[in-house]
Structure 1
Amino acid sequence: MKNLKIFLRLFILVFVVVTTKSIQAQQISNVEINEKIDSILPLLTLEEKVAMCHAQSKFSTPGIGRLGIPEIWMSDGPHGVRGEINWDDWGYADWTNDYITAFPALTCLASTFNPNLAKAYGISVGEEARYRKKDILLGPGVNIYRTPLNGRNFEYMGEDPFLASKMVVPYIKGVQQNGVAACVKHYALNNQELWRNHINVEVSDRALYEIYLPAFKAAVEEGQVWSIMGAYNQFRGQHTTHNEILMNRILKEDWAFDGVVISDWGSTHHTKEAALYGLDMEMGTGTDGLTSSTENAYDYYYLANPFLKMLKEGEIDEAVLDDKVRRILRLMYRTNMSLNRPLGRINNKEHIDVARKIASEGIVLLKNKKSFFPINPNKEITIAVIGENATKKLTIGGGSSELKAKNEISPLKGLQERFKNATIIHAMGYASGPSVYGQVIPSKLDALKLQKEAVEVASKADIVLFFGGLNKNHHQDCEGGDRESFGLPFGQDELIQELLKVNKNVGVVLVSGNAVEMPWVENVKAVMQTWYLGSEAGNAIADVISGDVNPSGKLPFSFPKKLNDNAAHSFGEVSYPGDSINQYYKEGILVGYRWHDTKNIKPLFAFGEGLSYTNFEISKIESNKKVYATHEHITISAAVSNTGNFDGAEVVQVYVGKPTSKVERAVKELKGFQKVMVKKGETKKVEISLNVKDLAFYDETISDWNLEKGEYIIYVGNASNNISKEINISIQNEY
């Protein structure tokens, strides 16, 4: 016993010494990096330093060969590593070794409400980027879901800044532990694709700080992200990629960002502004820079020869250039000049498992009349699978986030593999036409004939599963253009009504990254929102439909009943899409559920909403009733009981409101959540900690955050529209 005690003491001593030395070594390493940068800068010529600040190809910047400084290579994300692009144009290089695992879109990740999955996602996609020898992964995206017409919403994390903040931080950490820089985008206010290259956004300081910046701030201060991508649009008359307020004052001064600001491809517009207002690395200004005209050549980018000329003439101080080069070298020491960089992996079983797990956990069950789902996979029934989205490849298209997946399991294939005893018959039902970026090409197929075939198939089935929604063609969920209508395209609404005439047992499985209008919702038995799910789409959908996985996804944005119920659209064209020159965010802070709650406009489906195959009860909800402003946290405890027949997961959501305030407030705002797995018949205790400072509002009269004292209401439930209990608390000045 005595010897054991001595051994334990020695073990603890050794552990403390080793840990301390390890921490010191890391600290020394950071100091050494700065010392190395200091030693490198004097060795670089002015021309070499300028060269590091702009592209040499579509996705790389030059190294300095004589000093052994490598090139920087980057790739589009954030749902996987894009196929290899040609050196000078947007054509694919047609490599045979750039097939990857396609992960679910970030709307799906957000709907899991599971930060642990965000970490697993980041690790996996970071490993694939590292294997492909990429130094920067261009993602994730955290722009706020403001309108359901935004073509790029599927790449983002929903309408709530708190949810986006909590999900983006572990994603970033997961990517960067592989020695690959995450690049959070698009900073900032890039909330529509229509006129994105020039539209000027006018928004209040309060809405900017409370709604549109928090996820970026969390990425910098908590995630310690190594790079950020500027956006295309303007903010208060200045392009956001080189914006004095956003880049210099907020990002680099207030948040102390020490990484690299990268332009979006073609988002740079002015040499002096780019130099002085925060841009470090210019990409994509020219499209075929080595072979075409002078103005398209890489050396004639804004941060190339024109920048060099201003430096030589003394119009711009060399210290401005040195700051950019320091940041670029710092990024290199974190990535391609790191001595501890792992090797990466690609298309391995673990990545496939992560993709499938996120996909199945992100699926949201919105309606389930008379327990339409799950469908017994062992039952001998006839299932009609209707819809192009049951077979269409959806990892391709959508713009820069398109992927070259090694494999993509379609919903039809996934169902066929799982429902071996069922007779599955498929009819296309509707057709979208070819997927060509930047163009809308109608299908040459006969729409009426497709509809008739689908109706005939449905009439012979016990169950109809309609796979509809959107796809990643132009003017749908796609970069470079917004949706032109809120309803389903290609005659799907009419087709659903026709199917219901011959079979009342219809369940709708929506594939989209956006909310859609549902004129048929009262008549169908079930609605399931499945997002773009990547390589394992079909298997994940079959997992949930069969009951192998109990759905636990929650909506990361509101589904309005009609378009004008959305806050941005309620104010008319001045708010969205603007007049092609300016637009005004008239709704201020009342985005998404904040608008629906505060204006008492009932949504079709609410933020945070999502059904399960089991039943949960949230009870014994308690909180400290009196909190001091000098305190750090508010603690909420609750018991989650599974009273149904399936094991399942529930998301306890905590919202906070202030009924009396000197400024307009939303009725309630998400301030905490926790996902908990509870077996049938069991009860688990949940504790959620809220940071008191998160209850502050941005006070425009003092240009700072202001924590009001007084009465607050804490709302605890499992959706923004399903609150189990309200608790009144008081925030007071001091002990």
Structure 2
Amino acid sequence: MKKKLGLSIAAIFCFLTALGQAPTYLNEKLPVEDRVKDALSRMTLVEKVALCHAQSKFSIPGVPRLGIPELWMSDGPHGVHEEQLWNAWDGAGWTNDSCTAFPALTCLAATWNRDMAGLYGRAIGEEARYRNKDVLLAPGVNIYRTPLNGRNFEYLGEDPFLASQMVVPYIQGVQKNGVAACVKHFAVNNQETLRLDINVELSDRALYEIYLPAFKAAVQQGGVWSIMGAYNKVRGEHACHSDLLLNKILKKDWDFDGVVISDWGGVHDTKQGALNGLDIEMGSYTNGLTTESAFGYNDFYMADAYMKMLKEGAVPMSTVDNKAGRILKLIFRTSMNRERPWGSFANEEHHNVARTIAEDGIVLLKNEPVATKQAPLLPLDAGKYKKILVVGENATRNLMDGGGSSTLKVKKNITPLAGLQAMYGDKITYTKGYESGRPLYDRIDEIPSAKTDSLRAVAIRLAKEADIVIFVGGLNKNYQQDSEGSDRAGYGLSFKQDELITGLVAANPKMVMVLISGNAIEMPWIKKVPAVVQGWFLGSETGNALANVISGKVNPSGKLPFSFPVKLEDCGAHSFDATVYPGDKTNVYYKDDIFVGYRWYDTKKIKVLFPFGYGLSYTTFTYGKPVVSAKAMTNEQTLTVTVTVKNTGNVAGKEVVQLYIKDEKSTLQRPVKELKGFEKISLNPGEEKLVTFTIDKSMLSYYNDIKGSWIAEPGKFEAVIGASATDLRGSAEFILK
């Protein structure tokens, strides 16, 4: 239907142009502001209000009378969701909507590779375009504050600079297809517990330094066309109609010219929605995911109730003109853009993209020999082993199923077991080891203890007979795992996996742990397990990517986008009382303030299990001494810091060179150091490269909430070069005059 409508618009335009009567809003050669102004002048109030709320679960109406088409949205962020029924959460039962599953965004962040982010955005944008989706509800950029947050796997880690750098090319890649990216969830949405009502109280410093930068980069550098509001409140206002977030910060300070879309069920008041920056209301009278509405779409807050307020003068008519104008601009950029490409869907090229990103983001956490004078356990040489035992439900489980709105129906699903079998053939034997049950959204599917014990006993017996064991476990998309709608119940592994791992490594010390998760976990067995691979949720090509890294066909180069604390209490959000997480059922107080992730561990001198920015390789790298181009700079100047990096091993590899800035003295307390640059470089054996970073005033600044502005205080700074947040290879001092 949409293609026919698009062609009819083109035909009408050509016909009217020939007659010299084409309306301005149809002329794509004219400035978009002129087109919007002309279309608004032709629209009735009913048509304007209709644009401001849903007409189905995932669409809003256009203006049929004027030939302006509908706007269709799709869930992401790791693939294009299956087609759904018009007014239900059930799948429509199509047979041609099985997508490519790309790696979860934690994996993308772990690549520390801007090129991979652009590749990801382009490919998923092509899939959305092919499916005639105008808005992709992705990516997510909320900050990793606690390892218990059920949606951390959808986000880009604990550091605002890393998230900012990775989100921009993703957005640009998507929008090259004439599909709007919709960055979410704006803002301070860092837990699923009480997510619909919890009110976040935090300082201006935490807001501006930690929780807003990735959104700001999305707007000002990425040019994103839409943003989704969050469920939670911020300082007493629901985020989907927050005067502070939407009017003052997003639209005034950042000059955002796009559309604010509510999360599904995130609107609570007509007047606030009218006045406080919301543009499109989606999914109200539901809980955002499961409960079907008994109301019609005219019952939405921004429908008949809004119309009534407008007619009575309770809210200005200018509000609807502003909202409709923004929505028209989005339609002109997407569904009425006759120049956008056609896209492509679930093809081999996209599967290759998914595998390449997965391989680039897999992190090697530990790789030690089982005995002295032996080589590290990985890469796993097939010639050394006759019997390779694979254990773990995640080796065969469909990990695209469950997890809330990110669940996907996929065309291709290469499981870890399938990938290992393709690599090592009949040397592979498999046993389940544990079981987790069905991916239920609101409760745990209990597994009888007798069954769990039996599965564990079989796995341990087989481990004794094997030459080497590969355990594939971790988290999944079940309730209280990595899933929307619930936070994790604890920091440890569920389904008695810790007991299983301890039993397996006791039976056979040659063991590789493959952790599938979007979160850090507790590792009580870490000293006994010689090799650990952080595998993330890797999408359609999971098995092939893992097998390529485990075998050494691909040298691992991922680095952690968040820290792994030893125990939960080490984390800043869990170092206080329940009011700091998960809150007192009304408010949650961010007493950890700006000290999130490595900023907290540095400041408190807490040793972590695996630090931010950490990841091993099958080769080794040495760093030269960092050199600054000048010993001093002014606010108007920049300087460069350079460092040489050499591959001193025997195989080609990639290294992520990280720049941290340390302020020696400041009026207000600052973190010990902060990430302000990174480059991922490829090096052949013996090859050396020079890496250059440019330092400007913005990289030295912090938000002074007393003055209400960003400031860079004169004084001494250090440019610190590291291979992780704790593996610091050198530094160079300079002065800001």
> With structure 1 as the length reference, what TM-score do the two structures score?
0.94
The question of whether the paired residues in 2 share the 8 Å contact of 1:714 and 1:728 is answered with yes
User: Shift of residue 328 of structure 1?
Assistant: 0.3
User: Shift of residue 316 of structure 1?
Assistant: 0.8
Which residue does the alignment assign to 1:559? 564
After superposition, residues 363-402 of structure 1 pair within 5 angstroms as 363-370=362-369, 371-402=376-407
Aligned length: 702
**1:411 and 2:410 aligned:** no
Comparing 624-633 and 379-388, the one that deviates more: 624-633
Which residue does the alignment assign to 1:13? none
User: Shift of residue 380 of structure 1?
Assistant: 4.4
User: Shift of residue 573 of structure 1?
Assistant: 0.7
- TM-superposition CA deviations, 1:330-386 (whole Å, max 9, x none): 001110111211100011222111100000110000110121110013444211111
Which residue does the alignment assign to 1:573? 578
Which of 698, 707, 724 is the aligned partner of 1:702? 707
Secondary structure at the aligned position of 1:698 is classed as strand
Q: Which amino acid aligns with 2:78?
A: H
Q: Which amino acid aligns with 1:433?
A: G
Which residue does the alignment assign to 1:107? 106
Which residue does the alignment assign to 2:533? 528
Query: Distance between the aligned counterparts of 1:66 and 1:30, measured in 2?
Result: 22
The question of whether the paired residues in 2 share the 8 Å contact of 1:88 and 1:288 is answered with no
User: Shift of residue 312 of structure 1?
Assistant: 0.3
**1:672 and 2:680 aligned:** no
- TM-superposition CA deviations, 1:215-261 (whole Å, max 9, x none): 00000000000000000000011101100000000000000000000
Secondary structure at the aligned position of 1:446 is classed as helix
- TM-superposition CA deviations, 1:531-587 (whole Å, max 9, x none): 000000000000100000000000000000000000000012111000110010001
The question of whether the paired residues in 1 share the 8 Å contact of 2:119 and 2:173 is answered with yes
Query: Distance between the aligned counterparts of 2:524 and 2:674, measured in 1?
Result: 29
User: Shift of residue 627 of structure 1?
Assistant: 3.5
Which residue does the alignment assign to 2:434? 430
Query: Distance between the aligned counterparts of 1:341 and 1:682, measured in 2?
Result: 42
User: Shift of residue 286 of structure 1?
Assistant: 3.4
Which residue does the alignment assign to 1:82? 81
Secondary structure at the aligned position of 2:677 is classed as strand
Secondary structure at the aligned position of 1:590 is classed as coil
User: Shift of residue 94 of structure 1?
Assistant: 1.1
**1:638 and 2:650 aligned:** no
The question of whether the paired residues in 1 share the 8 Å contact of 2:631 and 2:733 is answered with no
**1:599 and 2:604 aligned:** yes
User: Shift of residue 294 of structure 1?
Assistant: 9.2
Comparing 202-211 and 659-668, the one that deviates more: 659-668
Query: Distance between the aligned counterparts of 2:344 and 2:714, measured in 1?
Result: 52
* CA pair 574-407 structure 1, distance change in 2 beyond 3 A: same
The question of whether the paired residues in 1 share the 8 Å contact of 2:635 and 2:736 is answered with no
* CA pair 354-632 structure 1, distance change in 2 beyond 3 A: farther
User: Shift of residue 487 of structure 1?
Assistant: 0.3
Comparing 107-116 and 344-353, the one that deviates more: 344-353
The question of whether the paired residues in 1 share the 8 Å contact of 2:186 and 2:229 is answered with yes
Matched-pair identity in %: 55
* CA pair 631-30 structure 1, distance change in 2 beyond 3 A: farther
Q: Which amino acid aligns with 2:225?
A: W
Q: Which amino acid aligns with 1:490?
A: F
Secondary structure at the aligned position of 1:507 is classed as strand
**1:272 and 2:281 aligned:** no
Gaps of 5+ in 2: 1-26, 370-375
Secondary structure at the aligned position of 1:250 is classed as helix
Comparing 154-163 and 383-392, the one that deviates more: 383-392
User: Shift of residue 625 of structure 1?
Assistant: 4.1
Query: Distance between the aligned counterparts of 2:354 and 2:470, measured in 1?
Result: 23
Which residue does the alignment assign to 2:445? 441
The question of whether the paired residues in 2 share the 8 Å contact of 1:80 and 1:102 is answered with yes
Comparing 164-173 and 656-665, the one that deviates more: 656-665
Comparing 148-157 and 620-629, the one that deviates more: 620-629
Q: Which amino acid aligns with 2:455?
A: L
The question of whether the paired residues in 2 share the 8 Å contact of 1:352 and 1:536 is answered with yes
Query: Distance between the aligned counterparts of 1:631 and 1:351, measured in 2?
Result: 44
**1:166 and 2:165 aligned:** yes
* CA pair 573-288 structure 1, distance change in 2 beyond 3 A: closer
Which residue does the alignment assign to 2:499? 494
Q: Which amino acid aligns with 1:251?
A: L
Comparing 557-566 and 37-46, the one that deviates more: 37-46
Query: Distance between the aligned counterparts of 1:634 and 1:199, measured in 2?
Result: 44
Comparing 667-676 and 706-715, the one that deviates more: 706-715
The question of whether the paired residues in 2 share the 8 Å contact of 1:88 and 1:287 is answered with no
- TM-superposition CA deviations, 1:103-123 (whole Å, max 9, x none): 000000000000000000000
After superposition, residues 11-90 of structure 1 pair within 5 angstroms as 32-90=31-89
User: Shift of residue 717 of structure 1?
Assistant: 1.3
Which residue does the alignment assign to 1:4? none
The question of whether the paired residues in 1 share the 8 Å contact of 2:285 and 2:293 is answered with no
Alignment RMSD (CA, Å): 1.5
The question of whether the paired residues in 1 share the 8 Å contact of 2:286 and 2:293 is answered with no
Secondary structure at the aligned position of 1:419 is classed as helix
Comparing 567-576 and 369-378, the one that deviates more: 369-378
